[in-house]
Each structure stands twice: as structure tokens, then as C-alpha cells.
A and B are shown apart, each in its own frame.
Chain A
Amino acid sequence: MPVAKAYTRAELDGLVACPACDALHRRVDVPVGSRSRCLRCHTVLTAPRNSAMTQIVMLAATGVVLMVAAMVFPFLSIDARGFSQNSSVLDAVMAFSDGIMLPLSIATVALIVFLPLLRLGAVIYALAPMAIGYAPAKGAARAFRLAQALKPWAMAEIFIIGVAVALVKIAGLATLTIGPAFWAFAALALVMALKDTLMCRLTVWKTLEQRRLS
């Protein structure tokens, strides 16, 4: 191993390491709209977009509104031989709420409602002050780190595919009516996916750093 050299902060900031394979690269200004990749493992390092910050905040806010709509409006209802049954999203996730199944209920609420909301909130908190004004809010770094950590656990889009499968299973048994909450949820899944494609985490961190110092 070569002798460790002491780098200055400015020298360190001129470098970036690939988060996947640890290869060092010189930080270069990537033109808006293109992306830089790790030379060794091809992981995307930065992909800056024009006015991405504003768009991400807007999409996250849209996501919160849609999530509220998905909670409030009717989700699905079925009819069969005179019996009918309505279900809201909360009914769906509280299906396991008796006895030994209760922990699963709580986990389901967390995965499809609570964690996606928390993640959207954290993104808004970290980025909105920078999108509207200039300086980030206090604790913005912590909020954005939380948003990053929650990413795999927010499963709203998986839930909507699950609903689609369930609908096919029921279709033979009963007449189905799809409520507005279903469409709100489907739109939410799309909005979240779009937000994640726009968000380039290394660029967000760089911006957070620059604006925190000035």
C-alpha cells in the first residue's frame, strides 16, 4: 500500500469515490442533462438536471397530496349475490389486525403509507428551502440521509401491483368497482418513480455542502 499522503480539504473535494467499488475519480463538471459513470464498474456517479431541485420538491409535494387522497377516498368495493364490501387503503392494510397477525399489519402500514410519507417529507424538508430560497434548513443533511436510507423500504409501487393481482383473483367471484383512491395510489407510484429518476444524490450532497458553507 502506498504511503498515505495528507490531502487538503480542497484536494479531497476535487475527488470523488465510486460508492459501489471505491475507485477514485477527479470530480469534473458534468454538463446538465448528461451523466458521469464510474470508469471501473459503470455505476452512475452524477446526473445533474436543469432545475431538478424545484421539480423534485414539486413531485414530492404532489406525492403527499396523492397519498392523502388515497387514504380519504374509497379504494375498492365488491358485490356478489347481494352482499357488498367496501375497502379503504387502511382497511386493506389492517386486514391482519387480529392476534398474532398484528405485527404484520403494522409492518404493512409502515411499508405502504408511513415510510413513503416520511420519505417524501424528508425530501421536501431537505430540498424545499434550497429550491425556494438559497440556504438549506437546519438538519437538512440528516433529513436527506434519512430519505436515502428509507428508499428500499418505501413500497407504494409494489402495493399497487399487488392490488392488480388481487383484482384478477377476485374478478371471477364478484363484481368489482375501483374507487378514486386506487387511481390516486397508482399516480403516486408513478410520481415517486419519476422523482427518484430526477434525483441525483451526489449532486444534491454537493449543493447542500456548497450552500451550507456560504
Chain B
Amino acid sequence: MEDPGTTATILTAREAGLVACTGCGRLDHIGEPTCSLCGASLDSRDEQSLQKVWAWMIAGLIAYIPANLYPMLETETLGRVSDSTIIGGVIELIHHGSWGVAAIVFVASVVIPIGKFLAIMFLAYSIKHPDRTSSLTRQHLYEAVEFIGRWSMIDVFVVAILSSLVHLGSVVNVNPGIAAVSFALSVAFTMLSAQSFDSRQIWDADRRVAA
């Protein structure tokens, strides 16, 4: 296998006057509107990609704020109501001694979303302002973001299960809080943001610097 650093010898579809379908890999001449095999619309590069990335990401950031400020769960124990936010839930789990589960929730609802915001910002910024990070590293970062992002939904599902299951008359009741909605929206928006990113631009920028 060739060393990934020596990319100068590689010809891209765009440089050959071709456009590749990202769905099925088939090639057509630049200018074809749709893929003749799978019917997807063809775009050599998605020119509006970065705008879409930033727009969805800002929407995701905005939704992430109330997701942390408002309660995820409202627990009613013997008539006493207590609210818990995302962080509150994690702290509660630590008090119960469930370190492992606390770690899962903390990673899924805090580390992954924030890491994802930073990673997408860095990737989008690096297209316009090339830096020393290699294209290969950035490609791997993008793949990680795309793969991991959906796992943030865990906490929303936890709220759904708890609030359907825990309805024990006057003893204890659990209801979903408004933050569950904002959090779910935030995850969906950042997933759309990551999907809008056209990873081929990472490699184009690299090519411009080398030239």
C-alpha cells in the first residue's frame, strides 16, 4: 500500500473531468445531473456544504443550551417533586455508586456533543484556513464524528423508558422534562451538520497547498 503522504500522484475524479456518485461510486462526466445507476443527484463538490454545516451546527448549539439548563426528568417521590438536569442525573448516579453508568451517560450527553461541536467547527474552519493537521487525520476525525454522533441519543431513550415505566401510584412517578426535547433536537441538528459536510473538500484544500 502506498504511503498516504504521497498524494501528489493521485488523480481525482474532478481533475479528470468526471463526477463520482457518493452513493454507489459510479462515474459520469461533469455536468451530468443525476447518477445513471442509482439516481442520486450528482455534484462534483457540494458548494453550499460549509454554509449548511455552519447553519445546522449553530441550530444544534442553540438547542444544546436549554437542554442543559432545564430538567430532563421530573421525579415525584411520595409527593415531593425533584427535577434533574443532564449533569444532575450524572451526579445522582455517582452518589448511587454506579460509576460505570454515570460515565456512559456523561460521555454520551456531555463529552460527545461538545466534542462534536468542536470537531465540526475545526473541520469546517480548516477547509478555508488550511493548517498543519494532515488530511488523513482530518478524514479520520470526520469519520469518527459521523460514527459517534448518533450515540448521544442514549439519554433521550433513558428518559423515555424511565417515564413510561416508573409510574407507581403515590410511591414514585417519573415524567419527562422539556430538556429531553431540546436535547433530541440538538443531536438531530448536529447529525445533519455532519452529514452536510463534504469530506472531499478536506483533500482539495490539501491539494491547493501542495500546488
Contact = CB atoms under 8 A, between A and B. Distances in A.
Interface of A: 1-7, 12-13, 15-24, 37, 39-43, 45, 76, 78, 80-81, 83-85, 87, 91-96, 100-101, 103-104, 107-108, 111-112, 141-142, 144-145, 148, 152-153, 155, 158-159, 161-163, 165-166, 168-170, 172-174, 201-202, 205, 208-209
Contacts of B171: 80-81, 83
A21 B37 contact: no
Nearest to B195: A152
Contacts of A39: 1-2, 4, 10
Interface stretch (B21-29, B48-56, B62-70): B21-29
Given A24-B13, A111-B153, A162-B157, A170 B29 contact: no
B82 interface: no
A12 B164 contact: no
Nearest to A205: B24
B24 A17 contact: no
B28 A152 contact: no
Nearest to B146: A152
17 contacts: A3-B17, A17-B13, A17-B20, A18-B20, A21-B135, A22-B20, A23-B12, A39-B1, A41-B135, A83-B168, A95-B164, A104-B156, A104-B181, A152-B195, A153-B150, A205-B23, A209-B26
A205 B150 contact: no
B101 interface: yes
Contact of B11 (A23, A85, A166, A173): A23
B164 A87 contact: yes
Interface string B149-164: 1110111111111111
B96 interface: yes
Contact of A166 (B136, B146, B161): B161
Interface size class of B (residues with CB under 8 A): 35 or more
Interface of B: 1-2, 4, 7, 10-18, 20, 22-30, 37-40, 93, 96, 98, 101, 104-105, 135-136, 139, 143, 146, 149-151, 153-169, 171-172, 176, 178, 180-181, 184, 188, 191, 195, 199-200, 202-204
Contact of A85 (B15, B146, B165): B165
B81 to A, nearest CB: 16
Contact of A95 (B7, B161, B203): B161
Contacts of B146: 152
A162 B154 contact: yes
B168 A81 contact: yes
Contacts of A6: 29
B200 A85 contact: no
Nearest to A23: B10
Nearest to B199: A20
Nearest to A141: B38
Given A41-B136, A81-B168, A95 B163 contact: yes
B165 A205 contact: no
Contacts of A170: 162, 165-166
Given A76-B161, A201-B24, 8 more contacts: A4-B17, A22-B203, A41-B136, A78-B165, A108-B184, A161-B157, A169-B98, A202-B24
A12 B18 contact: yes
Nearest to A76: B165
Nearest to B73: A169
Nearest to A5: B17
A196 to B, nearest CB: 12
A19 B165 contact: no
